[in-house]
Structure 1
Amino acid sequence: MVERETMEFDVVIVGAGPAGLSCAIRLAQQAQQKEQELMICVVEKGSEVGAHILSGAVFETKALDELIPDWAEKGAPVTTKVTHDDIYLFKDEKSATNLPHVVVPKTFKNDGNYIVSMGNVCRWLAEQAEQLGVEIFPGFSAHSLIIEESEVKGIVTGDMGLDREGQPKDTYMPGMELRAKYTVFAEGCRGHLGKQLIKEFNLDKDASPQHYGIGFKEIWQIDPEKHKEGTVVHGTGWPLDGETHGGSFMYHAENNQVVVGLIIDLNYKNPYLSPFDEFQRMKHHPVFKATLEGGERIAYGARAIAKGGLHALPKMHFPGGLLIGCDAGTLNFAKIKGNHTAMKSGIIGADTIIEALASDEPVNDLQSFDDKFKASWLYEELYQSRNFGPAMHKLGRYLGGAYNMIDQNFFSGSLPFTIKDTSKDYESLRLAKDSVEISYPKPDGKLSFDKLSSVFLSNTNHEEVQPCHLQLKDATIPITVNLEKYAEPAQRYCPAGVYEVNENEEGEKQFVINAQNCIHCKTCDIKDPSQNITWVTPEGAGGPNYPNM
C-alpha cells in the first residue's frame, strides 16, 4: 500500500480551463463578500495554466461580464473586436459562395464578440483567482477518484517516476490525496475522470449519446497587407463530402496573425478519411490560400469538442461534487462556442456550493444545481439550440441548414419539435471493403504539412519512460478486428501520428503506439470502433505546451 500525503480543502477543482477557473473565482468572491475563509484548490495537468487550452476562439463575454464586470480595466486579453463576418459555402477545391446573412442562422453572427487566445484568457483568469487566495497547482494530473461510501471525497494526483511497467524508478514520487467537501470536475471534453463519474453514478441514463467533433487549429503570421484585424470567416462544404459534417474557420487576430482551422464531426463514415489531411488540403482553397500564402505557420494543435448539446447533457451533480463545462458538454454548437457556456456552468456550480456550505444540514448531493441551471440563460441558450446538431445529422447539410436557419432566425429556437440523434459516433464507420479509399495530396511544406512537423509546433513532450497512457483493453483487437474490418482507422483519425501498423521481419502486422506524440485530443478514446482504447492522464506536465492557443 503506497503511503500518500493528504491535503484537505473545502473545494477541489480539477482543470484550470474556463469552467474550473470561473468556478474558483466565483467561490472566492462569494467567500470574500461573506468574510468567510474558504480553502480552494485547482489542479491542472498542463505544465502551466493555458498549456493545454485550445479553442478557436471567437469569445462572447456574457459570462465574463457577470464574473468580473471590470475585466477591461483589469487588463483581460480580450481586445480584438469582431468587425466583419463572412460565411462561405465551399462547393469544390476552387469555388465558393459567400452567403448573404439573411440565409445564415443568426447564431453564427458575431457582433460584439472578440477574437481571443483562450490560453491567454485562462492565464489571466488564473491570476485573478490567485489574487483572491485560490491555490493553483499546475503540472499535477488528477489520476483517480476517491470514492467512499458512494460519495466522491476528492482525487489522487498521478504518481511521478514510474517505469513502463508501473514500477518505481529512482525518481519516484507518489501522488497526493486531495480531499474536499466538494470536488468539481472541469477537465474539458471527454475528461477521463468525468467519463468514470458518468458511469459510476449513471449520470447519462436520461441523456442521448454525446456527440463529438475533432477541431484543428493553426496560427499563422501573415503579410500585413493581407491582414484584416477583426474579420471572422466561417465555412461549410468542401473538403468534406456530403455525408461528413463539419466546418472551417479563419479569424484575423491581432499582430498580423490569423488562426485557421477545421472541425469534423466524429460520426463520419469512411474509415479511410483522415481528418488531419482534410484540414491540410482545405488550406489550398483560394479563400484561405489568398490569406495564408507567403505567411509562416507558427503553431498547431487539435482537440476533440463535445457537441451533443442539451439532449446529451448528463446529470451534472452527484454525491460529493459537480461535473461542469465541456466535461459535461455545455458547448453551444449552434454558435460554435463553448467558453462562455463553460464559464457560466462554473459560476452556477460555485453558487450551488456556497449555498450548500452555508446550510445548517450537511448537503451530500448538490441537487439545487439543477434548479439554478434551468433558471439560467445557459439553459435557455442550450434549449434554443437543442435541435441544431441533430437536424444536421438527420437531415443533411442543406435541409438541416435550412431547418436551422428558419428555427433560429424566425422562431429563436422555439419550434415545437424535438429532434434527437441516438446514434453513437464510434458505431458510424462502414467496413473498409464497402468504402472508397481516399488519396490525399502530399503536403507542399508551404500551406500543407505532415503530422510530425505539426506535432513539433505543438511543443508536445512526455517523460519518455513511464506507463503508456493510451491503454488497450485487448492488445489483439487493433490487428485482428480493426485492421481486418476497418483498415485500422487509428492510423488516420489520430492528428499526431500516435498509432501505426507496421510489419516485423516475419511479415506479421504489429500495432505501434507512439505515446510521446500524443497531444491529448482524446479522439482515439471517442472514435475507436471497438472502444478498445482508453485515454488516461500521463505524468503531470506532459502533453502539448501551447503558447497562445
Structure 2
Amino acid sequence: MAEIEREAMEVDVVIVGAGPAGLSAAIRLKQLDEDLAVVVLEKGSEVGAHILSGAVLDPCGLDALIPDWKEKGAPLNVPVKDDNFYMLGESGGIRIPNWPMPKLMNNHGNYIVSMGNVCRWMAEQAEALGVEVFAGMSCSELVYDEAGGVKGVVAGEFGRNPDGTPGPSYEPGMELHGKYVFLSEGVRGSLAKEVIEKYDLSEGHEPQKFGLGMKEIWEIDPDKHKEGSVTHTMGWPLGSNAGGGSFIYHLDNNQVYVGFVVHLNYKNPYLYPYMEFQRFKHHPMVAELLKGGKRIAYGARAISEGGYQSMPKMVAPGVALLGCSVGMVNVPRIKGNHNAMLSGKAAAEAAHAALQAGRSGDELTDYETEVRTGAIGQDLKKVRNVKPLWSTYGLQASLALGGFDMWTNELFGVSLFGTMKHGENDAQATRQASGFEPIDYPKPDGKLSFDRLTNVSFSMTNHEEDQPCHLKLKDKNVPIAVNLRAYAEPAQRYCPAGVYEVVEEEGKEPRFVINFQNCVHCKTCDIKDPSQNIVWTVPQGGDGPNYPNM
C-alpha cells in the first residue's frame, strides 16, 4: 500500500487527552505565555464523554491552577458532609470509626463531583485562554523525528474498511507536530504504552497494578437521600476472592453514585467482577437505599493502583506522560484527580521554561523531578505500601498494617516496611482454572441488578461498525487454544461490557467472538488477559461511550 500523505500542523505543545491532566497543562501553558500555540486532542465525541471517576475531589489541584475557581463557576457544588467506612458481611456490616484513621483519609474540604462536568468546565477555561480543543479526534499514531524522539501525533483518521484498507470516504487525518508532546490519555493509553515500551521507561520500577472500577448513577427516594454523604465499604461480596470495595456518594438532585472496584490481581479466572458489583447491590444496606429508585447511567474504567513505586520514568525525547498515563492514584484515598491536575501544571511549567531557553524535543527532566519530590510524590510516598500489604496479607491484616504504616509515614516520614514490591503484574497473577471451582452468581433481578448488555446501553456507547476492530489479537489462536483450555477464557468475565464471548455450537470447535461495538474503553482486557494477547487501540474519533455526568 502506498504511503499515506498527510498535512502537518506545527504548534508549540500537543496534548493528547482532555482529562484533568491534559486540560491543566493546557491552561497553565497559556497562563504562562498567551502566545504559545497549544492544541488539545480528545478522542471522545465531546470533552467529558469518556471521563469516568468516583469522584470525591480534593480541590488542591484546582487551588493551585485556578485559585478563583469558585468565582468562575467550577461545578464543585456538593461539599462532603460525612464520611462512613463499613466492613460488610453478607447480611450486615460493622462501621469502622473515623478516629483511628490518619488525617490524609479525612474528606473534610473535598467535594462530590462529576469529573466529566469538571473537565467540560476546564475546557471552557482553556478555550477562553486561547487553547484549541478538538473533540472527536483519536490519536492513532506517534510521529518520530530522525533522531528517534517524539515530534507529534496522527489525529483524525476516519473511514478505514474493516480489513484496515482505506474506504471510499477515507480521511487520512493530519500530523500535529509539537516542540513537546504531552500524553494524558488516562489509564493504559495506547500511545503512552508505546512510549513506555520504546524507551524502556519502566526499567527499575515496579510493574503497574490496576483495578476495575464500575459505576452506576441512581435517582433515589428523596427521603433516603443525604446530600454530601460519602460511604466506602470493604469485605462482602468479594471476601478472599479479590481485593476491592465500594463507594456510595450522595450528590445533589437526589442522585447517588454507586461504584465498585475489583483489584485486577485476583487469581481465580472464574471471578466475574461485573457480577460481584451487581451482587453487592443486594446487600441489605445498599438494597434499602436503592429500593424504589432507578439507575440512569452505567460505565466502567480501569484504575492505576501501583502507586509511588510503579510510576515509570515520565519523560523521553520530546514527550512527557501526565496523570494516569503515569499512575498517580492514592489508593487508600481512592483519589487521583488532584494529582493529575498537579502533574499537568508541573509539565506545563517545565515545558515553558524549556521553550524560554530555546529548547525543544528533549527530555523535560524538571517535570519528573517535581512530580517525584513535590506534592504528588509526597502524597503517594506516604501510602506506597498499602496496596502491596493488601495483596500480600489480605484485607483484614492489611487494614491494621496499612493503617500503622500510614501513621508512621504521616508522623515521622518513615516506614518500617521500607518500600514494598508488587512482584508480578495483574496478567501474571491469573492462575489456571484447574485450581478453582466456577462461581455461581445469582441472576440479575432487573430492579437492583442488571445483565451486562442492558447496563451497557446506559453508557450510550456507539461504534461505527464498518471500521477495523480496535481490539487487536497478537495471535488469533490464543483465546481458544491457550486461554480457554488453561484459564476458562476469563475475557468472557473480566470485561464489564460483554465484548468477548466464546461461542460453542454442537459439532463445531469453539469460536472467540469480539463484539467491539460494546467497548466502553476501560482497557481491562489489555491489562488482565493472562496471555497478554489483546492490544487495545483507539477506534475512530468520537466512538465509544457518551457519559453524561460521570
- Category of TM-score, reference length = shorter chain: over 0.9
What does the per-residue CA deviation read over 1:490-543, in whole Å, with 9 as the maximum and x for residues that have no partner?
000000110010124642100000000000000000000000000000000000
The residue that corresponds to 1:47 in the other structure is 45
Q: Secondary structure at the match of 1:171?
A: strand
The residue that corresponds to 1:116 in the other structure is 113
1:398 shift after superposition: 1.4
Residues 444/105 of structure 1: CA separation in 2 closer, same or farther (3 Å cut): farther
One of 9, 15, 18 as aligned partner of 1:16: 18
Residues 411/180 of structure 1: CA separation in 2 closer, same or farther (3 Å cut): closer
One of 403, 406, 409 as aligned partner of 1:408: 406
The residue that corresponds to 1:259 in the other structure is 257
Supply the AA of the counterpart residue of 2:320: L
Please say if residues 210 and 312 of structure 1, whose CA atoms lie closer than 8 Å, have aligned partners that are also in contact: yes
Supply the AA of the counterpart residue of 2:176: L
Residues 254/3 of structure 1: CA separation in 2 closer, same or farther (3 Å cut): same
2:547 equivalent to 1:543: no
- Equivalent-residue separation in structure 2 for 1:135 and 1:510 (angstroms): 45
Q: Secondary structure at the match of 1:56?
A: coil
Residues 72/513 of structure 1: CA separation in 2 closer, same or farther (3 Å cut): same
TM-score (norm 2): 0.97
2:141 equivalent to 1:144: yes
- Equivalent-residue separation in structure 2 for 1:378 and 1:305 (angstroms): 17
Residues 78/331 of structure 1: CA separation in 2 closer, same or farther (3 Å cut): same
- Equivalent-residue separation in structure 2 for 1:272 and 1:536 (angstroms): 26
Supply the AA of the counterpart residue of 1:480: A
One of 380, 390, 398 as aligned partner of 1:392: 390
For structure 2, which runs of at least 5 residues remain unmatched after alignment?
Answer: none
2:343 equivalent to 1:345: yes
For structure 1, which runs of at least 5 residues remain unmatched after alignment?
Answer: none
1:227 shift after superposition: 0.3
Please say if residues 106 and 405 of structure 1, whose CA atoms lie closer than 8 Å, have aligned partners that are also in contact: no
Residues 293/362 of structure 1: CA separation in 2 closer, same or farther (3 Å cut): closer
Supply the AA of the counterpart residue of 1:143: S
The residue that corresponds to 2:468 in the other structure is 467
- Equivalent-residue separation in structure 2 for 1:473 and 1:212 (angstroms): 22
2:127 equivalent to 1:130: yes
Supply the AA of the counterpart residue of 2:189: G
The residue that corresponds to 2:175 in the other structure is 177
2:96 equivalent to 1:99: yes
The residue that corresponds to 1:455 in the other structure is 456
TM-score (norm 1): 0.97
The residue that corresponds to 2:364 in the other structure is 366
2:1 equivalent to 1:3: no
Please say if residues 105 and 404 of structure 1, whose CA atoms lie closer than 8 Å, have aligned partners that are also in contact: no
Please say if residues 19 and 345 of structure 1, whose CA atoms lie closer than 8 Å, have aligned partners that are also in contact: yes
1:61 shift after superposition: 0.1
Supply the AA of the counterpart residue of 1:218: E
For residues 187-226 of structure 1, the aligned pairs below 5 Å read 187-226=185-224
Please say if residues 157 and 176 of structure 1, whose CA atoms lie closer than 8 Å, have aligned partners that are also in contact: yes
The residue that corresponds to 1:25 in the other structure is 27
Supply the AA of the counterpart residue of 2:164: G
Q: What percent identity do the matched residue pairs reach? A: 54
The residue that corresponds to 2:440 in the other structure is 439
- Equivalent-residue separation in structure 2 for 1:471 and 1:371 (angstroms): 36
Q: Secondary structure at the match of 1:537?
A: coil
Greater shift, 94-103 or 179-188, is seen at 94-103
1:375 shift after superposition: 3.8
Supply the AA of the counterpart residue of 2:500: Y
1:270 shift after superposition: 0.7
One of 281, 284, 308 as aligned partner of 1:283: 281
Q: Secondary structure at the match of 2:99?
A: helix
For residues 475-490 of structure 1, the aligned pairs below 5 Å read 475-490=476-491
- Equivalent-residue separation in structure 2 for 1:280 and 1:375 (angstroms): 41
Residues 326/361 of structure 1: CA separation in 2 closer, same or farther (3 Å cut): closer
Please say if residues 45 and 138 of structure 1, whose CA atoms lie closer than 8 Å, have aligned partners that are also in contact: yes
Residues 234/361 of structure 1: CA separation in 2 closer, same or farther (3 Å cut): closer
What does the per-residue CA deviation read over 1:126-163, in whole Å, with 9 as the maximum and x for residues that have no partner?
00000000000100001011112111000011520111
Q: Secondary structure at the match of 1:101?
A: coil
1:101 shift after superposition: 1.3
Greater shift, 242-251 or 519-528, is seen at 242-251
Please say if residues 164 and 468 of structure 1, whose CA atoms lie closer than 8 Å, have aligned partners that are also in contact: yes
- Equivalent-residue separation in structure 2 for 1:105 and 1:528 (angstroms): 36
2:492 equivalent to 1:495: no
- Equivalent-residue separation in structure 1 for 2:83 and 2:189 (angstroms): 33
Supply the AA of the counterpart residue of 2:499: V
